[in-house]
Amino acid sequence: MPSSFVVVFLIGAVIFTAVSALRWWFGADQSARRRLKSVTSVSIAEAPEGALVKITGKLLLVGDEALEGPLSGRRCAAYRAEVDERRSSGKSSRWVNIIRDDDVIDFAIEDETGHALIKAIGANLVIDRDDHQTSGTFDDASERAETFLMHHGKSSEGFLGMNKGMRYQEGVLEPGEEVTVLGKARWEMDPDKSRSAGYRDRAKRLVIDMADDGTLIISDDLTTLD
């Protein structure tokens, strides 16, 4: 192999690695993690009105409303599901993301000082993907995975019905799980009268909503909980 070609190849590899690293570092998930880690948590009771606050607590569903993880069927308040397809070109192959789907509903969290309602619609979700599946030549996709693919106009089968190489990842925010939320704090009268001392002493509850600049981050990443 000519030495000049080797040099060009090495330079190209270095540039590709650097671009990939920068894309990862400045990606939405990593940026959100850094933002969360830069803010110190406060207890629910200590959250100041109108301030951007970070609180951590145990997730509670509100009423009977719940989502279902599309790949695992887990009951949750939010999920993030992704599918990658292995694509080949000559002797090389790479994973290409073909589906990235998430959903979230309003939920509550509690700590030792109180309850907070999280108005979660539109939040930036940073969820640990802890459910992993694969399908390929000798492994069919699960029924749930196939349904998820079909919902997004995809299939686990390719030419002549042969299985494609696919990998599936899902993360959810489940009841009882510790989560961290960064958003704008406001206080309102608690509609749950059982937490009030009486008619003249109505309890208040904290509500976390999207800040004026669009900040609302929700995560179960253990490194962001402090």
Res. 62: pLDDT tops 60: yes
Over 90: is that where the pLDDT of 58 sits? yes
Domain layout of the chain by residue ranges: 39-224
Q: Are strands 92-104 and 166-173 parallel, antiparallel or unpaired?
A: unpaired
How long is the chain?
A: 226
Q: What digits encode the pLDDT tens for the residues 6-53?
A: 555 455 444 433 333 334 333 578 899 999 999 999 999 999 999 999
User: Is residue 160 very low, low, confident or very high in pLDDT (cuts 50, 70, 90)?
Assistant: confident
How much is the pTM? 0.81
Residue type, 180: T
pLDDT in tens, 200-216: 556 889 999 999 999 99
Shortest CA distance to 148 belongs to which of 104, 103, 96, 95?
Answer: 103
